[in-house]
Chain A
């Protein structure tokens, strides 16, 4: 009985016309997201990350409290919304995951390459994800303000733009195939336009996020990894220059958007 009702409802939705169906569906999804807004399981990662930031760990038995995320050693609030940025000590533009790898190696003695090779959600990678959640949360409500003062930062923005529009892979997709215009969607997922400035607040500005479908906290690196999986591309190297460049391009486009990270996503 219920099945017939659902089938009829589905047929009605289809018959009512694409635009109408999209509006009521979009409203439905907006309601679903609103109901989930309070009580984001990402908070569990934020709490864990705060502990890890302060805890003495690794072969050097040191905490991360001397780690410079761009605003000075140990300064966490406001750091997230200015990443990726150029760092003088490593002489490269780094995103949050990349910078944490540097600090975990330099300060705590961990093997950054080994962490980069560790699957998402496991071992030290899971700890890094918690740190990302904590650091992002400390900038919640602040507006993205990535620096572009350094030549390297500007270069990476340009590289990122080219990566964004680069079509390849078996489907000849680029990031732009899904994310370069308003009004696109896959099934019921509205696709954010990542080329917009100021940012729309739901694309770049929402990661890291708790992914309901896998019940885990996804960092931007993981989100990009999954984007490439969906495009049927080979996976980018973890915290590789290409992935960082993408972050610079999207982050610059998102300047002015308010960070809601870590948010909650499907």
Chain B
């Protein structure tokens, strides 16, 4: 189990390095990072993705509602004008597993994506942007999740 996880992490990290160096064809989709999706904390996701410690940055524009009427569907959006951003990952700190999704951008798309996530409870949500040169930036929003009506 441990070995497989290490191997996956290593291969993801190698893939990221290679992609950054322009060696991999732009659209070889990385193998599904099961370890990252099983990680239960921001730190563990960072480790599993094989990336540097994220640094907060105002260059990542992250939109999320202050209050979600229902945690089942929370609309979020992240974009950046920074060049060189290869992937954006969305993390929900208090979810049972922290990583919600990862988007990989080729040069043929804008580094901008809207999606919808599930939140188990009120939590910090992070948009983590990974650049080709290895730099990792993030923006975060505090989203309150409510439950409506007379019992769901």
Residues of A within 8 A of B (CB): 2, 5-6, 9, 25, 28-29, 31-33, 35-36, 186-189, 212-213, 215, 230, 266
Q: How far is the CA of A2 from the CA of B144 in the complex (A)?
A: 11
Contact assessment for B72 and A187 in the assembled complex, using a CB-CB cutoff below 8 Å: no
Contact assessment for B70 and A266 in the assembled complex, using a CB-CB cutoff below 8 Å: yes
Kindly list 6 other residue pairs between chains A and B, CB separation below 8 angstroms, not including A6-B122, A187-B148: A2-B123, A6-B144, A28-B67, A31-B65, A36-B75, A187-B147
Contacts of A2 in B (CB 8 A): 93-94, 123-124, 142
- In this complex, the member of A29, A33, A215 whose beta carbon has the largest number of chain B beta carbons within 10 angstroms is A29
Which one, B67, B68, B72, B150, contacts A186 given CB within 8 A?
Answer: B150
Contact assessment for A36 and B73 in the assembled complex, using a CB-CB cutoff below 8 Å: yes
Nearest A residue (CB) for B122: A6
Contact of A28 with B65 at beta-carbon distance under 8 Å, contacts A2-B93, A6-B122, A215-B72 already known:
yes
Contact assessment for A32 and B69 in the assembled complex, using a CB-CB cutoff below 8 Å: yes
Residue tally, chain B, CB below 8 Å to A: 25
B152 in contact (CB, < 8 A): yes
Contacts of B67 in A (CB 8 A): 25, 28-29, 31-32, 188
Contact assessment for B68 and A32 in the assembled complex, using a CB-CB cutoff below 8 Å: yes
Contact assessment for B69 and A33 in the assembled complex, using a CB-CB cutoff below 8 Å: yes
Residues of B within 8 A of A (CB): 63, 65-70, 72-73, 75, 93-94, 116, 122-124, 142, 144, 146-152
Contact assessment for A187 and B146 in the assembled complex, using a CB-CB cutoff below 8 Å: yes
Q: How far is the CA of A2 from the CA of B67 in the complex (A)?
A: 15
- In this complex, the member of A187, A213, A230 whose beta carbon has the largest number of chain B beta carbons within 10 angstroms is A213
Contact assessment for A186 and B124 in the assembled complex, using a CB-CB cutoff below 8 Å: no
Contact assessment for A31 and B66 in the assembled complex, using a CB-CB cutoff below 8 Å: yes
5 closest pairs, A vs B, by CB? A28-B67, A230-B150, A32-B65, A35-B75, A266-B69
Contacts of A188 in B (CB 8 A): 67, 69, 146, 148
Contact assessment for B150 and A212 in the assembled complex, using a CB-CB cutoff below 8 Å: no
Contact of A189 with B148 at beta-carbon distance under 8 Å, contacts A35-B75, A212-B73 already known:
yes
Contact assessment for B148 and A213 in the assembled complex, using a CB-CB cutoff below 8 Å: yes
Contacts of B122 in A (CB 8 A): 6
Which one, B63, B70, B151, contacts A212 given CB within 8 A?
Answer: B70
